[in-house]
Amino acid sequence: MDLQKLTLVMRRLALEAGDRIMEIYASEDFVVRSKGDQSPVTEADEAADAIISAGLRAAFPELALVTEEQAASHGIDAKTFLIVDPLDGTKEFVQRRGDFTVNIALVLDGSPVRGVVYAPAKGRLFYTDAGGNAVEEEGPFDKKAPGRQNRIRVSRPDNAALLVVASKSHRDQATDDYISNYAVKDMKSAGSSLKFCLVATGEADLYPRVGRTMEWDTAAGHAVLVGAGGDVVRFDNHQPLRYGKEGFANPFFIAYAPGVDLKKA
């Protein structure tokens, strides 16, 4: 596979989808519906999905494609596939809080190896380069060519003063109970896959998720974090979080910078 081409295509499609999302975000009103699982979906989700899906299928017709908004794609059985959440953090979008992202990733043999996370309302763009290194690109963003890229790396955590990030919309007592096992210097909340990126940049050391997620929610952020030297493991046994599972549902997990003294559940 041409990984340089993949990087450029994923980046461009994320930016194009982000532009359409922001057009809808800026409108006075937009329709919000409930899907079968009662999660919200908007015209922005569907418009972004159409842009990204068409672009990926045109550029990489040989690769299987899984997207959140296309239920027919959820039955694939492939070791290598592209996986997309066109608008991660729909609740943040609906409430106009800005913490939403466009996520596109490549999964190879159960591991997300390349990914892009774009937060259009915040003007932050993270992705893995052709070599798998994680970078944050400085704006303004030109769809035709990347601008200045800054290599990002996880922190060297101090277990006596950890920086923790947790979900903004899905924070619960179970999460707080787990975090209480650590010596926390600072706690912040963020939406969508931005939490992975905050660990990747060293703005946080630890992100535990004790709640439901799907592989399209996490794959791109997971890839960026690994490219920055971090890791993601299952909450229950600290084994690697794998992809391509039946139904694409994740177990609870922990994203972290190596050096964090992980606690058992």
Distance, C-alpha 210 to centroid of its chain: 16
DSSP result, 160-194: TSEEEEEESSS--HHHHHHHTTS-EEEEEEE-TTH
Q: Provide mean pLDDT across the span 159-163.
A: 98
The count of other CB atoms within 10 Å of the CB of residue 174 is 13
Query: How high is the mean pLDDT of the chain?
Result: 94
Q: Evaluate if residue 38 carries a pLDDT over 70.
A: no
Give the contacts of 12 (CB within 8 A, at least 6 positions apart): 55, 143, 144
Give, in degrees to the nearest 5, the angle at Cα 168 between 31 and 225.
105
Q: Evaluate if residue 173 carries a pLDDT over 90.
A: no
DSSP H helical segments within the chain, as ranges?
Answer: 3-25, 43-59, 90-94, 173-179, 194-200, 215-227
Q: Provide mean pLDDT across the span 134-158.
A: 97
Q: Evaluate if residue 170 carries a pLDDT over 70.
A: no
Q: Provide mean pLDDT across the span 20-32.
A: 89
Give the contacts of 54 (CB within 8 A, at least 6 positions apart): none
pLDDT of residue 33: 81
Domain extents in the chain: 3-151, 162-256
At position 193, the amino acid (one-letter code) is S
Q: Kindly report whether the peptide bond that precedes residue 146 is cis, defined as omega within 30 degrees of 0.
A: no
* Cβ atoms of residues 115 and 103 within 8 Å: yes
Which one of 3.50.50.60, 3.40.50.970, 2.40.30.10, 3.30.540.10 gives the CATH number of domain 3-151?
Answer: 3.30.540.10
Is 3-151's fold the same as 162-256's?
no
Which pTM value belongs to this model? 0.95
- The CATH-assigned architecture of domain 162-256 is 3-Layer(aba) Sandwich (3.40)
Pairing type for strands 231-234 and 253-256 reads: antiparallel
DSSP conformation class of 153: -
